[in-house]
């Protein structure tokens, strides 16, 4: 059974600051397994999925959905992550095998992988028929700084955050996740000063997650209200049944034309790196079942 991550939320500073800590190590390892990510690609996607999990934790309904696209000019190409109110997440990197030399401080060059020019776009659909779309310009490609700018400019929610992914020599994730300080409306200057001083302590958040876990990090910040515990995990919505419905929607004539040209119908899901192939016999079965259903 696939392991799940952990996202913990509470209030601090007399209830004036929302605090969240997420451990996404298991989710990132699942992404690495599915997409065969290079270390820097895993770091970039892992940070993006950590922020996506946090954004999804604010969705009111399980079926509500949210997508994040980082479209920069780096070697990795587009980075996409999608989730819902149940924290079922999926994501991919356009060039998962792209790599870069480490920076001078020996850390992975996520900024170079993402690029320093481009956009970060969030689309949130609460099911009311009017999706919210927010976009902000990339600042550094370091992702945490870019999300902080997004929260301020598009959500009008000033948020101090740290994101990190630690990759071992074997290519597996040792620690991944983030911490989010979000002052609530009317928060005092004292609370704002506390956040400014506190966030600097989490520049190496991935190592802290590896060593202390989300619970240990949260305990050190003295939560003042009951802790909300959520479990994000990697889950793609694609399935052979869903793809069969897609083929059915094409109509028999178009499906048969594709079969004549290609010998089969192939559909590839970028989010989970899964290919679905349908032979002539498979397609005939799909339309035969529909014919029986109509009768």
What would the pLDDT profile of 210-264 be if each residue is shown by its tens digit? 999 999 999 999 898 999 999 999 999 999 999 999 999 999 999 999 999 999 9
Taking Cα atoms as reference points, which of 77, 6, 47 lies closest to residue 176?
Answer: 47
The CA–CA distances, whole Å, from 32 to 21, 110, 226, 261 equal: 22, 16, 33, 34
Local confidence band at 2 (pLDDT 50, 70, 90 cut-offs): confident
The pLDDT confidence band at residue 1, using thresholds 50, 70 and 90, is confident
Helices (H), 175-239: 189-199, 205-219
Average pLDDT in the chain: 94
Write down the pLDDT at residue 289: 76
Mean per-residue pLDDT for 84-102? 96
Identify which has the larger pLDDT, 231 or 102: 231
For the chain, count helices (H), then strands (E): 9, 13
Region of poorest pLDDT, from 125-134, 189-198, 228-237, 255-264: 125-134
Instruction: Report the share of the chain in percent with pLDDT over 70.
Output: 98
Residue 44 is predicted with a pLDDT of 98
Q: What is the DSSP string of 15-40?
A: TTEEEEEEE-HHHHHHHHHHH---HH
CATH 3.55.30.10 domain range(s) in the chain: 6-234
Dihedral sign from CA coordinates of 30, 44, 123, 71: negative
Instruction: Tell me: pLDDT of 282 over 50.
Output: yes
Q: Is the pLDDT of residue 162 over 80?
A: yes
Q: What is the pLDDT of residue 72?
A: 97
CA 248/CA 226 separation, integer angstroms: 49
Give 292's pLDDT tier (boundaries 50, 70, 90): low
- Maximum CA extent, the chain: 71
* Percent of the chain residues topping a pLDDT of 90: 89
Q: Please provide the distance, in angstroms rounded to a whole number, between the alpha carbons at the two ends of the chain.
A: 41
Residue 295 pLDDT greater than 50, yes or no = no
> Cα–Cα distance between 212 and 225 in angstroms, integer?
21
pLDDT at site 104? 86
Q: Among candidates 34, 95, 45, 33, which has minimal Cα distance to 275?
A: 34
Find the mean pLDDT for residues 87-96.
97
pLDDT at 290: 65
Collect all residues with Cβ–Cβ distance below 8 Å to 68 and sequence separation of at least 6: 48, 51, 52, 55, 80, 81, 82, 120, 121, 122
Report strand pairing: 233-234 vs 88-93: parallel
Residue 98 has pLDDT above 90, yes or no: yes
CATH number of 6-234: 3.55.30.10
Tens digit of each residue's pLDDT (9 = 90 or more) over 20-68 = 999 999 999 999 999 999 999 999 999 999 999 999 999 989 989 999 9
8 Å CB contact between 112 and 138: no
Q: Which residues pair with 7 in a beta bridge?
A: 22, 230
Record: fold of 240-294: CBS domain Like (3.90.1280)
> What pLDDT was estimated at residue 291?
56
Report the run of H or E that residue 163 belongs to, with start and end.
strand 160-167
Domain with CATH 3.90.1280.10 in the chain: 240-294
Report the pLDDT value the prediction gives residue 278, as an integer from 0 to 100: 96
Please tell me the total number of residues recorded for the chain in this structure: 295
Q: Judge whether residue 126 has pLDDT over 90.
A: no
Per residue in 59-88, pLDDT (tens digit) is: 989 989 999 999 999 999 999 999 999 999
């Amino acid at each position: 059974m696939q392991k799940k991550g952990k996202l913990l939320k509470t209030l601090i500073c007399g209830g004036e600051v929302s605090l969240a800590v997420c451990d996404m190590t298991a989710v990132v390892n699942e992404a690495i397994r599915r997409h065969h990510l290079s270390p820097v690609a895993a770091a970039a996607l892992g940070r993006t999925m950590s922020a996506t999990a946090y954004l999804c934790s604010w969705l009111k309904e399980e079926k509500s959905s949210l997508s994040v696209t980082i479209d920069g000019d780096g070697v990795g190409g587009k980075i996409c992550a999608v989730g819902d109110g149940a924290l079922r997440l999926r994501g991919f990197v356009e060039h998962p095998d792209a790599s870069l030399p480490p920076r001078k401080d020996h850390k992975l060059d996520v900024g170079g992988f993402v690029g320093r020019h481009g956009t970060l776009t969030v689309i949130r659909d609460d099911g009311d028929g009017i999706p919210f779309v927010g976009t902000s310009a990339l600042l550094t490609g370091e992702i945490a700084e870019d999300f902080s700018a997004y929260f301020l400019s598009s959500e009008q929610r000033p948020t101090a955050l740290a994101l990190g992914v630690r990759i071992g020599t074997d290519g597996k994730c040792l620690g991944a996740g983030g911490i989010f300080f979000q002052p609530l409306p009317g928060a005092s200057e004292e609370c704002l000063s506390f956040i400014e001083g506190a966030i600097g302590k989490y520049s190496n958040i991935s190592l802290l997650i590896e060593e202390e876990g989300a619970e240990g990090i949260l305990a050190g910040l003295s939560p003042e209200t009951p802790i909300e515990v959520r479990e994000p995990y990697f889950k793609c919505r694609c399935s052979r049944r869903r793809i069969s419905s897609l083929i059915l929607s094409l109509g028999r004539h178009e499906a048969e034309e594709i079969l004549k040209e290609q010998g089969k119908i192939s559909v590839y899901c970028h989010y989970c790196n899964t290919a679905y192939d349908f032979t002539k016999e498979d397609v005939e079965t799909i339309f035969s079942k529909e014919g029986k259903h109509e009768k």
